[in-house]
Amino acid sequence: MNDGAARALLASANQSLIERAVPHLTSRDPAQFWTSGQWMTENIGGSDLGMSETEARRDEQGLWRLHGRKWFTSAATSQMALTLARPMGNPDGARGLALFYVEPRDAECRLQNIEIQRLKDKLGTRKVPTAELLLTGTPALPVAGLSDGVRAIAPMLNLTRTWNAVSAVATMRRGLALARDYAKKRIAFGSPLARKPLHLDTLACLQAEFEAAFHLTFHVVELIGRDEARVLSPSGKNLLRLLTPIVKLTTAQQAVAATSEILEAFGGAGYIEDTGLPLLLRDAQVFSIWEGTTNVLALDALRVANAETLSALKARVAECAKTNDVRLIEPGRHAIQALDKAAAWFDRNAATSALEAGARRFALTLGRSYALALMVRHAQWSLDHEHDARAAIAAQRFRQGGVDLTTTEDIEASRALAMDEE
């Protein structure tokens, strides 16, 4: 959130706020360093930010003050926060919201017209306190005008979603390191788990998922770096717009599934709190919820998907899937075919309700096919420069785990099954 807040402030060109906050957000001095929260979610709206009810009013001195209730305020102990509110008289919907900068405490460290109603009793990530806050005239400053706040917060969301993916990858890696170490030491039925073919197969599948998530995530990190350095090509910008929601939803799903399997790899010990293992699974569950659930992000991907962005993705997959090694031909071909099928599905259903119904499978297919292509590219490099076939094995194993998830949607059948209607 610190990285995202700094980026949003810099993008706003609000020089006074940039000078006030960015040096604190980027400082390496603990005495100067600030953390940043984001106060978006309200009871009424959740991910639908356009329904936000927090109102911004000017007082007698012309200062903006916020009134409303924020249901899920991340990093409640932060020195600053970015939040959305509707300036009095603005129209309903997202266009009527503005982005505001808040410092929750004054110079004497007293809360500025903020009532902490309760701290959230969360499943995981308890290290980052989250609160319900009542704002009763909290002083605030507009960041980028008095409308289009959702657009102004977008640079922050793009980075926090990417950090979400980085954290998902890190959690998978941590769990795998523990599971590997345990497999070498745990003796069962006469030999270590590391010598059991079935256990090795399970760990190999998890490793392939991790490597796919790693390549996908850090490819997006590379694109962000190129974009911030202003050297990203137009096709790269199209790719980044499409991949930002996709990398978050794809890696979040992978992390939850992988950590569940990792706990199972420890047997009963994986279910016991004092091993520290259940914490991995509890913390991982937030990856698919914070900054947009899988469905919300899939709909974001649909909004960004068009002829230009899909063309950029297909061109990149075709480039990455080029190989001269027989072990990589089928994984590369599969990545191209899965993406082509997803793009054809998108075109075929563009004007139908099936488009929304299949949005999750569409987005996951884009993410998994692109990850597979990146794995093929890396495997070819590894074979050429390191004479190492391990990455090729990972690409083969990931392909076997399922890449193409697109199907034909039957809306009425889904309604009958999901809602149990008589």
The domains of the chain are located at 2-147, 151-300, 301-419
**Residue-by-residue pLDDT tens, the chain, 422 positions:** 999 999 999 999 999 999 999 999 999 999 999 999 999 888 876 777 878 899 999 999 999 999 999 999 988 899 999 999 999 999 999 899 999 999 999 999 999 999 999 999 999 998 888 999 999 999 999 999 999 998 998 889 999 999 999 999 999 999 999 999 999 999 999 999 999 999 999 999 999 999 999 999 999 999 999 999 999 999 999 999 999 999 999 999 999 999 999 999 999 999 999 999 999 999 999 999 988 999 999 999 999 999 999 999 999 999 999 999 999 999 999 999 999 999 999 999 998 889 999 999 999 999 999 999 999 999 999 999 999 999 999 999 999 999 999 987 778 888 888 886 55
Under 8 Å between Cβ of 61 and 78? no
The CATH code that applies to domain 2-147 is 2.40.110.20
Measured CA to CA in angstroms, residue 364 lies from 32, 111, 370, 371 at distances of 41, 43, 10, 10
Q: List CB contacts of 305: < 8 A, sequence separation 6 or more.
A: 242, 346, 362
Residue with tokens 């990190």: 221
The predicted pLDDT at position 277 comes to 96
Under 8 Å between Cβ of 346 and 355? yes
Give the DSSP letter of residue 306: S
**3-state class (DSSP) for residue 186:** coil
If we measure between CA atoms, which residue out of 247, 285, 261 comes closest to residue 368? 247
Its pTM stands at: 0.94
The predicted pLDDT at position 329 comes to 97
Element spanning 187, H or E: strand 187-188
The predicted pLDDT at position 422 comes to 53
Class (C level, CATH) for 151-300: mainly alpha
**3-state class (DSSP) for residue 383:** helix
The predicted pLDDT at position 129 comes to 86
Instruction: Please classify residue 181 by burial: count the beta carbons closer than 10 Å to its beta carbon, then call 0-12 exposed, 13-18 middle and 19+ buried.
Output: exposed
Q: Classify 275 in phi/psi space as left (phi over 0), alpha (psi -120 to 50) or beta.
A: alpha
**3-state class (DSSP) for residue 152:** helix
Phi, psi of 224 (to 5 degrees): -65, -45
